Structure 1
Amino acid sequence: MPFPPTPTGESSSHSGKCHCGAVRFNFTLSPPLYEYPTNSCNCSICTKNGYLLVYPFNKDLTVEQGDTLKDYLFAGHKAKHQFCGRCGSSCFIRPLEEGAPSISAVNVRLLHDIDIEKLDLNKVDGKSVGPAYKV
């Protein structure tokens, strides 16, 4: 399957927020959310943050409120992990590498009325990519 998935003629729109509501966002996704492969990765940061990720194009993602967003970079600084500086909710991952697709990873656990059981979970073995991250 290509990454990100090839858009189809169908899409779904979603809104979400962090636990305290200081970060609020909307996005459109194609194919629709329950047909979109949602990544569940076993790498250190995805595991600790409980990420379940989809990847809307940046043009289809709007952060309505985000003044409290803080950035976290680690290891090779290939991606910026963004979390709410007030409640600590893990919100987005944004690629920093030159030539990376114009997408943002969104944690679907923050979406309103999400049914995790209906997601098309795609298990990703991120733990085996590159050297293990150690503090």
Structure 2
Amino acid sequence: MSAEANVRTGQCHCGTVRFEVTLADGFDSILRCTCSYCRMRGAVVVSAKMGAIKILHGEDALTLYRFHTGAAEHFFCSRCGIYTHHRRRSDPNQYGVNVACLEGVSPFDFAEVPVIDGVNHSSDTGTPTRRAGTLRYIPAE
């Protein structure tokens, strides 16, 4: 995938927050997580390096949420409530970006999405991140 193909635009549901992101590995980094927060929000994410997200509009509307250790920073639109991205606890030099916010992309575009074990986070256990399973999407015929 060319570097240009890794540059995507995105926005929240209401369009107040708009951004441009350069994906670190295209869609090869796609995943879901089983931690309490990710499980409840249900987002599918891809990776971007620190500095790879440029907020084009609505930075003042972004709200920050932290929990547990406070290391991860989860950003969402204060108007429509949509989660756009987060700074990762496992690697503070990386962001996870909500694929549903990317223009022309849907979480349902991916037949299989790896699910990582965020309940037993590597920062807590001292062991490598474990794959908990695979989320599959099978379209109805």
Question: Normalising to structure 2: TM-score of the pair?
Answer: 0.73
SS at 1:67's partner residue? Answer: helix
2:101 alignment counterpart: 110
> Is residue 42–residue 125 contact of structure 1 (8 Å, CA) maintained in 2?
yes
Please list every run of 5 or more consecutive structure 1 residues that lacks an aligned counterpart in the other structure. 1-8
Please list every run of 5 or more consecutive structure 2 residues that lacks an aligned counterpart in the other structure. 126-141
| CA deviation string 1:40-84 (max 9, x = no partner) | 112111111122111211232211122100111111111111111
Within-5 A mapping of 1:88-107: 88-95=81-88, 100-107=91-98
Question: Could you tell me which amino acid in structure 2 is paired with residue 17 of structure 1?
Answer: Q
| CA deviation string 1:69-126 (max 9, x = no partner) | 01111111111111111110011111478xx442221111111111434436221111
SS at 2:38's partner residue? Answer: helix
Question: Could you tell me which amino acid in structure 2 is paired with residue 107 of structure 1?
Answer: N
1:125 alignment counterpart: 117
Report the number of matched residues. Answer: 119
Question: Could you tell me which amino acid in structure 1 is paired with residue 113 of structure 2?
Answer: L
> Is residue 44–residue 107 contact of structure 2 (8 Å, CA) maintained in 1?
no
| Cα shift at 1:128 | 2.9
Q: Give the alignment's Cα RMSD to 1 decimal.
A: 2.3
| CA deviation string 1:16-55 (max 9, x = no partner) | 100111111111224322xx12111121111111221112
Within-5 A mapping of 1:1-135: 10-11=2-3, 12-33=6-27, 36-65=28-57, 66-95=59-88, 100-119=91-110, 121-129=113-121, 130=124
Which of the pair has the greater relative contact order for Cα pairs under 8 Å at 6+ separation?
A: 1
> Is residue 10–residue 31 contact of structure 1 (8 Å, CA) maintained in 2?
no
> Is residue 55–residue 103 contact of structure 1 (8 Å, CA) maintained in 2?
yes
Cα 1:37–1:55, aligned 2, differ >3 Å: closer, same or farther? closer
Cα 1:30–1:77, aligned 2, differ >3 Å: closer, same or farther? closer
